[in-house]
Structure 1
Amino acid sequence: MERAAIPYLPRGVRIRRDDVRDQWVLLAPERAVTLDPVAHAVLSAIDGDRSFGQIVDDLAGRYSAPPEEIAADSAGFLKALQDRRFLELK
């Protein structure tokens, strides 16, 4: 994923807390994906305004991790969501 790409959750896709199961989920029409803490951190940083590069830099600073490692892991995760239409890019 290019650093300038701006990821966003399309209409009908949202992050919600499943209180029954005590976990975060990504909801879309007729579909749901359980989120681990890393996935939740990445998706929570997406606001539709910030670029992928800005999100990576923010996460790297917040978690004291190498930006290139966060970029590689996040890009793969977000690409998989994009392929399943849970995520789009501007």
Structure 2
Amino acid sequence: MIDQASVPSLNPMFRLQWEPAQQAHVLLYPEGMVRLNGPAGEILARVDGQRPVERIIAELALKFPEAEGIDGDILEFLAEAAQQNWVQL
């Protein structure tokens, strides 16, 4: 279960990087690549095993002040990312 006190980290099987050819963040893994949309890339770029979810939410709220009520969206994405084994808690 992911809550705002959780401290997610990227699964070591994956590497997050900006891919200029894709103009997007991607998750690289031994069998391939996952192209991330803009919000997913912004969230995963902050998943470092040190920031709690509440700090990730606060940083994104400051960066995108026009996006109201993003807490639920971020929690939902991180839950999906954990289900896909992209992130660990």
Please report the TM-score for the alignment, with normalisation by the length of structure 2. Answer: 0.84
Displaced runs of 4+ in structure 1, greater than 4 A? none
Report what 2:51 is aligned to.
Answer: 50
What RMSD over aligned residues (CA atoms) do the two structures have, in Å? 1.5
Query: Could you report, residue by residue, the CA deviation over 1:31-58 in whole angstroms, capped at 9, with x for unpaired residues?
Result: 4211111111111111210100111011
Looking at secondary structure, tell me which structure has more helix per residue: 1
1:1-90 alignment runs, 5 A limit: 1-64=2-65, 65-66=67-68, 69-89=69-89
Contact 2:16 2:26 in 1 (8 A): yes
Work out the number of aligned pairs and report it: 87
User: Percent sequence identity over matched residues?
Assistant: 29
How many angstroms apart in 2 are the aligned matches of 1:25 and 1:9? 13
Q: 1:77/1:31 Cα in 2 relative to 1: closer, same or farther (>3 Å)? A: farther
Extract unaligned runs of 5+ from structure 2.
none
Report deviation, 1:75.
1.3
Report deviation, 1:12.
2.3
Extract unaligned runs of 5+ from structure 1.
none
